[in-house]
Amino acid sequence: MAEKDNIILTGFSFTGKSAVGREVARRLGWHFADSDDEIVALAGKGIPDIFAQDGEERFRELERQVLATICEKESLVIATGGGAVVDPGNRELISRRGVVICLEATPETIHQRLIAAQETYHTVRPLLAVDDPLQHIRSLKAARQPWYDTADCSVCTDNLTLDHVVERVIHGFRQVSAHNSDPAYFEGASFVVTTATANYPVFIGWGTLGELGRRMLQTRLSKFANIISDEEVFLHYGARTSESLEQAGFNTESFMVPPGETTKTIDTAVSLYDWLVERRAERGQGIVALGGGMVGDLAGFVAATFLRGLPLVQVPTTLMAMADSSIGGKVAVNHPQAKNLIGAFYQPRLVFIDATTLSTLPKRELISGWAEVIKHATVLDPEFLLFLESNVERLVGLEAETTTEAIRRSGSLKAMVVSEDEKESGRRMILNYGHTIAHGLEAATGYERFLHGEAVAIGMMGAAMLSERLGLIPKDVVLQQRKLLQRFSLPTTCPGIDKAGVLRAMELDKKVREKAVRWVLLQGIGETVLRDDVPLEEAVSVLEELIGD
């Protein structure tokens, strides 16, 4: 049996172990156990009665028995009693069977929480039933502190919301797990994405799809995988994916959706919910997103919302998804009036990329993917942009080494930004370069005329033109960008588009704040600025130039 399979919360009473543990378990798709609740169930009486009728030694005996039982399980979040760590046998057990995280709070905070709970529930709290409760808490906590300090990490809960404590517990678990886990989980990874809520490897290879099952074994998911794909991708890679998973011991089920962005709707998500309900899917069962950005967004949205969260594994098969959308945890479905309007931030457990799957992409879709790669280089890495300019023919021809290197460099740039800003509250906004116009174009044309990368390429031109109009960059930069996009056969104009429809869609875009459109503009290659004061007439003028009015 594998070790360190659980998260075990220690700490003094009223540091939040039960509430935090339940929410951590919900977010991870694990089960939750409270050792005090298990003791009550085993004894058939409440804890105050156990102490009063049988004595503390009997309570500690029951506590040891309960911990020995529940710690043998896997993928469990366990809240321990405040005094459990005093017993050396308990300390050895929890240290061996889980990542131990101590929830801390000052005696003053604990005292205030005790008083509030007593007033709310009208029950006498034993820690308050003394002459000087605060001093009693100080003394008892100080006596136990050496044992609390043996935890793998600690989280101070005094001034944090439940959500913030939960995020820090999960982040601590990820960090400790990454340090202590089987090195094979990260060995060979092209790079690792580390955020406040997740820590996961990204594997990029050539002809490696058969290794997916072996890599997924390291994620500690239950041995059941729900594969979500589109009909065209599954025709090419469904059997190989299923075979790899089944050879590794997974049971698999598959659901195929029609290809294309128009599939990415709440109605399709409901169909997937129905399928999961019919198969009685449980927490811990993985969702494997096999396909391009549409499948990754849709399957990720379903994973984030079904049973309040199922583990997600991204297996992208398009360049767009490999270099960008599979990394960073943005999942969504479209609304008729705006792209990705209904979504969440939900990180995968693993991203597994076999770049040979690009060989079966339609040429237009392959070309579309280079837009996001060029975008990352333009806003983040001038040297990478030179690499792209120097290797256009090799990349267009899918030369193995050059292509995997481009995917790796593009993805690692995305990972760097995501690691700094998981939920797009700051720096991550720069990755929306070109997307303001792009999403407007897609929505205004019903997601039918443009592939996403084509719209992004046009949007990048619009953003560069605006940057020049506002005096941020010289015209040479605009021309350099246009030339590179055209060398990859990407569009740089959009004749025949309804300008008013694009403007309406832009106003509904998720990047709008206080009714002002936020533009990501260039100050130079590798330098960006966010602007929400772009005059409407300038944006309209650029649109007219792109459309050819």
Cα separation of the two ends of the chain: 68
Q: Is residue 410 part of a domain?
A: no
Helix (H, G, I), strand (E, B) or coil at 72: coil
| Same-domain status, 36 and 133 | yes
Active-site pick, 409, 452, 482, 518:
452
Element (DSSP H or E) covering residue 332: strand 330-335
CATH classification at residue 499:
1.20.1090.10
pLDDT score of 1: 34
Distance of alpha carbon 436 from alpha carbon 467, whole angstroms: 14
Give pLDDT, residue 269.
97
Q: Which of 144, 408, 435, 511 is catalytic?
A: 435
CATH of the domain at 298: 3.40.50.1970
414 belongs to the catalytic site? yes
Q: What is the pLDDT of residue 444?
A: 86
CATH number of the domain at 119, please: 3.40.50.300
- Whole-angstrom distance, CA of residue 419 vs CA of residue 80: 32
* 123: Cβ contacts below 8 Å, ≥ 6 apart: none
**pLDDT per 10-residue tile (average), the chain, 549 residues:** 72 93 88 93 89 89 93 90 91 91 93 84 66 90 91 89 88 72 72 80 95 87 91 97 96 95 94 95 91 96 92 96 92 86 91 97 94 96 96 96 96 87 78 91 86 94 96 96 97 90 74 67 93 89 87
Dump strand ranges (E) for 164-305.
191-194, 199-205, 224-230, 251-257, 286-291
**Domain closes at, from 180, 208, 227:** 180
The predicted-structure confidence for 19-68, as pLDDT tens digits, reads as follows 999 999 988 888 999 999 999 999 999 888 888 899 889 999 999 999 99
Can 90 be counted among the known catalytic residues? no
Are 201 and 341 in a shared domain? Answer: yes
Q: Which of 23, 38, 424, 454 is catalytic?
A: 424
Q: What per-residue confidence (pLDDT) applies to 265?
A: 95
Q: Which two tokens stand for residue 231?
A: 């009909």
In a domain, 392, yes or no: no
Choose, from 23, 232, 261, 372, the residue flagged as catalytic: 372
- Within-domain flag for 269: yes
Q: For residues 146 and 262, state if they share a domain.
A: no
Q: Is residue 406 part of a domain?
A: no
Q: What is the pLDDT of residues 292-349, one digit of tens each?
A: 999 999 999 999 999 888 999 999 999 999 998 999 899 999 988 777 889 999 999 9
Check whether residue 91 and residue 195 sit in a common domain. Answer: no
293 shares a domain with 256: yes
Q: Is the sign of the CA dihedral 168, 171, 175, 180 positive or negative?
A: positive
Residues 197 and 114 in one domain: no
Among this protein's residues, is 432 annotated catalytic? Answer: yes
Catalytic residue chosen out of the listed positions 215, 220, 264, 330: 330
Residue 513 is a catalytic residue = no
439 in catalytic set: yes
Specify the pLDDT at position 181: 54
The one catalytic residue among 90, 226, 340, 432 = 432
Q: Are residues 344 and 199 in the same domain?
A: yes
* pLDDT at residue 549 in the model: 61
Nearest to 63 by CA among 83, 33, 45: 83
Inside any domain, residue 79: yes
Q: Which of 308, 475, 483, 513 is catalytic?
A: 308
Decide if 428 is catalytic.
yes
Please tell me whether residues 223 and 169 are part of one structural domain. Answer: no
Considering the entire predicted model, what is its pTM? 0.68
Mode of pairing for the β-strands spanning 251-257 and 516-517: unpaired
Out of 152, 180, 208, pick the residue that ends a domain: 180
Strand order in the sheet with 191-194: 191-194, 199-205, 350-354, 312-316, 286-291, 224-230, 251-257
Tokens of 447: 């997601």
Q: How far are the Cα atoms of 441, 452, 458 from residue 455, in angstroms, in the given order?
A: 7, 5, 5
Number of residues that this document lists for the chain: 549
Domain of residue 275: give its range: 187-361
Alpha helix (H) residue ranges in 181-230: 212-217
- Please indicate, yes or no, if residue 386 is contained in any of the structural domains: no
Chosen domain end from 149, 180, 211? 180
Long-range CB pairs of 134-138 (<8 Å, 24+ gap) are 134/107, 134/108, 137/12, 137/107, 137/110, 137/111, 138/107
DSSP secondary structure letters along 344-366: EE---SEEEEEGGGGGGS-HHHH
Please indicate whether residue 330 is annotated as part of the active site. Answer: yes
Q: In what order do the strands lie in the sheet with 153-156?
A: 31-34, 76-79, 6-10, 98-104, 153-156
Select which of 4, 31, 409, 439 is catalytic: 439
Helix (H) or strand (E) holding 98: strand 98-104
Q: Are residues 68 and 196 in the same domain?
A: no
pLDDT for position 508: 63
The answer to whether position 402 is within a domain reads no
Bridge-partner residues for 344, per DSSP? Answer: 331
Would you state the pLDDT for residue 188?
82
Residues 213 and 333 in one domain: yes
Number of domains in the chain: 3
* 174 in the same domain as 88: yes
Q: Do 450 and 465 fall within a single domain?
A: yes
Options 97, 428, 469, 518, the catalytic residue: 428
Q: Report yes or no on 458 lying in a domain.
A: yes
At 309 the three-state DSSP class reads coil
